[in-house]
Every structure is written in C-alpha cells, then in structure tokens.
Amino acid sequence: MASSEKKRGWKTKVYQGFNYKILPDLAIGFQNKATQESFSFHTNPTLAFALLKRPYDVMIIGGFASLSSYIAFLVSKIKRKPVILWIGNTLQDEPSTLRKIAMPIIKLLMKFSNAFVVYGTRSKDYVTSFGIPRERVFTAINVGNVEFFKAESERLKGQKGVIKGELDIKSNKVILYIGQFIKRKGVKYLLDAFSKLKGEEKDTGLVLIGDGPQREELMQKGHGVKDIHFIDAIQPESLPSYYVIADVFILPSLYERFGIVVSEAMASGLPIIATEKSGASADLIRDGVNGYVVKDRDVDGLYAALRKILKDPQLSRRMGGNSSRMIENEFNLDKTTQGLIEAIKYVTRTQNVN
C-alpha cells in the first residue's frame, strides 16, 4: 500500500526472497488535536488495474483504514477470490468521526470476508462482536523480529557498562520506554510514577525513546527530576543497545491495540510492565510471572510495579528469564506465521468445497 507512514520514523526494510511491488500511493493526512493522534488515509490509483490484470489465489487485506482496502475487497469479490482481513482493532478503540461514517461499509467488509487474522485475544473479541464465528478467526500474535533482538541481547549483554558509558547513563538501574510522545501513550503518568520512585530509588534512571507532539510538554514535566533521558526516535536495528542496559520495560498506554515493543523487550530478556489497555497485556504478559499488568492512568500502580521489580534482583532475573522463554517457545515468528498459513488453508479449502 505504501513504503512508509508519516507518523512512523523507522525505515522500511523489505526482505529478499520473494517478488513484490509497491504501487504509487496517495495519502491524505488527518490529525485529532484533542488526542494529538495523526493518521493517513491511503489509496493506490493503479491498484484496481493491477489486481484485474494479475492472477492471484487469495487476497489479504490489512485493516480497513484506506480506500485501497475497499478497492481490493471489491475487485476480489468480482473475481470470486477469497478475502482474509488482517486487523488489530479492539473493543477499546476510540471511535473517530471518520470511523463512525464508515461503519456501514466496515460491517459489509466484515460480513463478506472469508476469514480473519488478528493480532491477539482482544482483536479476536472485536471480530466476534460482529457475529463472526470463531472458527473463521485465526491468531497471528503481533510480534516484532524477536530472533534479531534475542541474538543481539546475547551478543551485547557483556557490554552493558560500556554502552551505558557511551550513552552517558550513570544510573545503576534503568527503566525503559520506547514509543511515540502522544497523549494516549500515558507517558505523563510514567513520569509521575518515576518521580515518586526516585525519592527512594535514587540510583535509578528513566530512558524515554521516541518523538511526537507531546515531547516538549513531557520534557517540561520531567524538568527538575534527575536521571531522565529523552532520546530521539531511532531505527529498530539500533534498539538492542538500549534494551540491554535496561532492567525493566514499561508501556503505560491509555490505549494500545497491541504493542510490538513488548515482544522486543521480552526477547531481550526484560520484565514487562504494561497497562490493561494494551492489547499485548492479554497475550504476552502473565501477571507476576514475566511482569505486571496495571490499570491505565494509575500512578500508584506503575510505581508499585516498578518498585517490586527494581528492589528485588532475584524477582527481576526470574521475570526476565520467563519473558525470554515465553517468546522463544510460545510467541515466536514461526507461530505467528502459522496463524496466517492456517487462515489461507481455511479459505482455499472452503472455497474448493463451495
């Protein structure tokens, strides 16, 4: 659909070994001033022609936030090809005006799609709320390149002190956040929790990596609290150095469809703290096993979870080890891929029966 997205700072990397083509893209940008969220509505002017011209067996559509999704759906129905809708929406989605207007069309898309691939448990609940039978819904847990992060954490673990020196981070213990600086990420509540924690855990630092419209406000809020480090957004291949110096990863979101960074932090062997409003908390985090799940906007809850992990090295090591094992055994890319494969097998099998 597009090689990049304006609100995403990372560079797109397409892996070799298969044929692909990125079509010319037109995008209209929108921004919700109240939430500071921005998004683009994409369309590919040559998509209909390309799909009508080229043969294919199955259409996989990534969500319904673009005109291209509807074009692909319509052409596939004309060509009598099965459609798999791959989405991460949850019942906690904040309904935008545009989404409300498009809801009748979304309902049609949901009704006539042949199968669904979802990010996790919360997304499955969303799909089934439309009356979709569960046997047509397949889960492909939304993880990042966990093999890369696991390998890099192993390679760099003996260099923790050196990396801290290079980054000028002097704190013995480090709390890490990676994400946008926008209201729904809940970073201001993390700053309040850290300020409270700093009163008793003085040798602890907070590293915040990202960009966004709330950055200056957050920097001002953290002014006067020692050992808070704001770092510009960096490319994924540079993140392992930050994961390896961290003692705990935290995602204080007020709403998060999933949270790929949670899988990266787990692959790096870190305990995880996330709010119950994060989709990943329903699948990747087992409360008290590899981290803690807290309520959103709960400063005391964030503080208590951080304090438990940072004051108990044995607990921290156990939780980090559990994170690593869970990613390796339960939430790896092979199992994610398997969810997509099962959906493809389902639609081709049922198409042949019909």
Per-residue pLDDT, 22: 85
Contact between 90 and 257 under an 8 Å Cβ cutoff? The reply is: yes
Q: Specify the CATH number for 26-142+333-353; select among 3.10.129.10, 3.40.430.10, 3.30.450.20, 3.40.50.2000.
A: 3.40.50.2000
Residues of the chain with CATH 3.40.50.2000: 26-142+333-353, 146-329
Give the containing element (helix H, strand E) for 106. Answer: helix 97-112
Per-residue pLDDT, 5: 56
Contact between 251 and 296 under an 8 Å Cβ cutoff? The reply is: no
Q: How many residues does the chain have?
A: 354
Beta bridge partners of 248: 175
Per-residue pLDDT, 191: 98
CATH of domain 146-329: 3.40.50.2000
Question: From the CB of residue 338, how many other CB atoms can be counted at a distance below 10 Å?
Answer: 14
Where the chain has pLDDT below 50, the residues are 1-2
Beta bridge partners of 26: 43
Q: Which amino acid type is present at position 254?
A: L
Per-residue pLDDT, 35: 62
Per-residue pLDDT, 1: 46
Task: Report which of 8, 22, 63, 36 is spatially closest to residue 236, judged by C-alpha positions.
Answer: 8
Query: What contacts 203, CB < 8 A, 6 or more positions away?
Result: 171, 172, 173
Give the model confidence (pLDDT) of 292-345 as tens digits.
Answer: 999 999 999 999 999 999 999 999 999 999 999 999 999 989 999 999 999 999
